[in-house]
Amino acid sequence: AVGEAGFDFWHFKHLKEPYKIILLHGWGGSKEERFFIWLEQELTALGHKVIRFDFPNTDNPNQKKWLQKLEQEAGYINGKTLFVGFSLGGVTALRFLEELDEDVKVGGVYLLGTPTADLGYNELKDFFKTDLNWGKLKTACNSYYIYNSTNDEIVSPDHGQKLARELDSEVTVVEGAWHFNVEKLPQLLDDIKQNIKNLNGILPTIEEVIKRQKEVFEAHIDLALKNNLPLILHGRNGLAERNVYLEMLDILKAKGADRAVFHFFGGDLATAKTLVQAGYFIGTDGPLTFDKKSEELQAIIRDIPLDKVLIETDSPYLAPEPFRGQRNEPVYVEQVAKKIADLKNLTLEEIIEQIWQNAKNLFKLKG
């Protein structure tokens, strides 16, 4: 097969959501301190979503635990995600961005009184065991905003200047804010509002993204046809007004691509019937065994012809019961086969024989 191709509409729902601004406090702080409450009120009044939370053990911070907490609270990250990091919270934001996938880019990061070294405190050494990856950071964010206070007695201006220099940004100097121990920061709010206005002009529309996905999908199909190979297709719905599988089906028909499996199928029964009637296979894996969460999927596999079903692992993810939550392994496909046998009231041997024949038909295998 020529890799995995398909449409992903699930991510598009996030393009419809408001901007998400995540507020990160510093060492010994909390979500209630300083200008956070005021900033949340101002931003939510504009229709944006604000997330603020307490990091664990703030008096003796641990980088790994802080990053885990941030990942847990932040949720889905994209170009409509902004971070406001105060002091060590800013360092945490940068360390978080270092670990983002290469294709993920946030909309903006605002760093206030943020150090670039441990300042001689043992409690901060855990966050500076390695140098910041400036190259990665520059590609992980659309715009950085750096703020120094004229009378900050904890983090000297040199740190902000280094951040600005390394991140291709500029320093905004705030008069008399101490270590940003203020209730309001109008300049910060103005910068966030202006950045969002700028982002609205450059973020792609849903239709633009779908158009590009279609172009890449068609190129993938052409490559498979040229090499006489089947297609492994993955679709994810996320837009109520569109059916990702039927849109893929239309393109497959137009291209004359008749050998394909819809891997990790997540559609409804009517869609599954349409796909198998068109000659395509439905792939299923570990979640089929999750009785409390997969009633619809089980109904689909029970109803569609067995000669249109394939089993897969999706390893290392989605291990079936009783191995759920563990690393998935190819040997576990037997658990999925057993579930299909149960759903179709057939023997395991009958299921294995037909699934093997299905695989030979899709991949044109001999023997």
- Report the CATH number at residue 284: 3.20.20.140
pLDDT digits (tens, 9 = 90+) for 185-201: 999 999 999 999 999 87
As a whole number of angstroms, the distance between CA 109 and CA 30 comes to 19
Residue 293 — pLDDT band, cuts 50, 70, 90? confident
pLDDT digits (tens, 9 = 90+) for 9-44: 655 555 668 899 999 999 999 999 889 999 999 999
Split into its structural domains, the chain has a count of 2
| Residue 359 covered by a domain | yes
As a whole number of angstroms, the distance between CA 43 and CA 47 comes to 7
| Residue 4 covered by a domain | no
| Residue 172 covered by a domain | yes
Residues 186 and 309 in one domain: no
| Residue 45 covered by a domain | yes
Residues 197 and 260 in one domain: no
Residues 183 and 266 in one domain: no
| Residue 283 covered by a domain | yes
pTM of the predicted protein model: 0.63
| Residue 159 covered by a domain | yes
| Residue 189 covered by a domain | yes
- Report the CATH number at residue 49: 3.40.50.1820
Residues 128 and 74 in one domain: yes
Minimal CA–CA distance to 163: which of 229, 90, 81? 90
Q: Kindly state the DSSP code that residue 86 receives in the 8-state scheme.
A: E
As a whole number of angstroms, the distance between CA 123 and CA 19 comes to 33
Tell me the pairing of strands 49-52 and 81-86. Answer: unpaired
Residues 248 and 298 in one domain: yes
Residues 186 and 276 in one domain: no
pLDDT at residue 3 in the model: 60
Residues 254 and 186 in one domain: no
As a whole number of angstroms, the distance between CA 323 and CA 332 comes to 8
Return the minimum-mean-pLDDT range out of 92-101, 308-317, 348-357. Answer: 308-317
| Residue 292, CA distances (Å) to 121, 153, 338, 341 in order | 50, 57, 17, 18
CB 47 within 8 A of CB 18: yes
Residues 148 and 220 in one domain: no
Q: Is the dihedral of CA 252, 254, 255, 257 positive or negative?
A: positive
pLDDT digits (tens, 9 = 90+) for 114-157: 999 999 999 999 999 999 999 999 999 999 999 999 999 999 99
Q: Kindly state the DSSP code that residue 80 receives in the 8-state scheme.
A: T
As a whole number of angstroms, the distance between CA 253 and CA 278 comes to 9
Residues 166 and 49 in one domain: yes
What single letter denotes the amino acid at residue 64?
Answer: K
pLDDT digits (tens, 9 = 90+) for 313-361: 888 989 999 999 899 999 999 999 999 999 999 999 999 999 999 999 9
The arrangement of strands across the sheet holding 281-284 comes to: 4-5, 231-233, 260-262, 281-284, 309-311
The H or E element containing residue 84 is: strand 81-86
Judged by phi (left if over 0) then psi (alpha if -120 to 50, else beta), residue 87 lies in: left
CB 168 within 8 A of CB 86: no
Q: Point out which residues pair with 231 in neighbouring strands.
A: 260
Alpha helices in 256-311 (DSSP H): 269-277, 295-303
Residue 142, domain extent = 18-202
Residues 216 and 349 in one domain: yes
pLDDT at residue 103 in the model: 87
Residue that finishes a domain, picked among 202, 217, 242? 202
| Residue 51 covered by a domain | yes
Q: Give the mean pLDDT of the chain.
A: 93
Residue that finishes a domain, picked among 202, 226, 244? 202
Residues 217 and 197 in one domain: no
The H or E element containing residue 171 is: strand 171-174
Give CA torsion, residues 314, 316, 320, 323, to 10 deg.
170
Residues 225 and 185 in one domain: no
Residue that finishes a domain, picked among 202, 219, 236? 202
Please list, residue by residue across 149-172, b when 16 or more beta carbons sit within 10 angstroms of its beta carbon and e when fewer do.
beebebbeeebbebbbeebebebb
